[in-house]
Amino acid sequence: MIIGERLRQIREQKNLSQGDIERKTGLLRCYISRVENGHTVPAVGTLEKMARALEVPLYQLFYDGDKPPEIPTLPKQEKNTLGEWGSSGKRAQIWNRFHTLLSRMDQGDRNLLLFLAQKMAFKGKS
pLDDT at 94 over 60: yes
Tens-place pLDDT, residues 4-29: 999 999 999 999 999 999 999 999 99
The CA distance from 65 to 71, in Å, is 14
CATH of the structural domain 3-61, one choice from 3.40.50.1820, 3.40.980.10, 3.40.50.10860, 1.10.260.40: 1.10.260.40
The CA distance from 3 to 102, in Å, is 29
Q: What is the pTM of this model?
A: 0.54
Average pLDDT over the chain reads 84
The CA distance from 43 to 33, in Å, is 15
Question: Which pLDDT does position 77 carry in this prediction?
Answer: 63
Domain range annotation of the chain = 3-61, 89-124
How many Cβ atoms sit within 10 Å of the Cβ of residue 27?
18
Give φ, ψ of 27 to 5 degrees: -80, 145
Tens-place pLDDT, residues 41-60: 899 999 999 999 999 988 88
pLDDT at 126 over 60: no
Question: What's the whole-number mean pLDDT along residues 90-107?
Answer: 84
Question: Which pLDDT does position 15 carry in this prediction?
Answer: 95
Question: Which pLDDT does position 125 carry in this prediction?
Answer: 60
Question: Which pLDDT does position 46 carry in this prediction?
Answer: 92
pLDDT at 64 over 70: yes
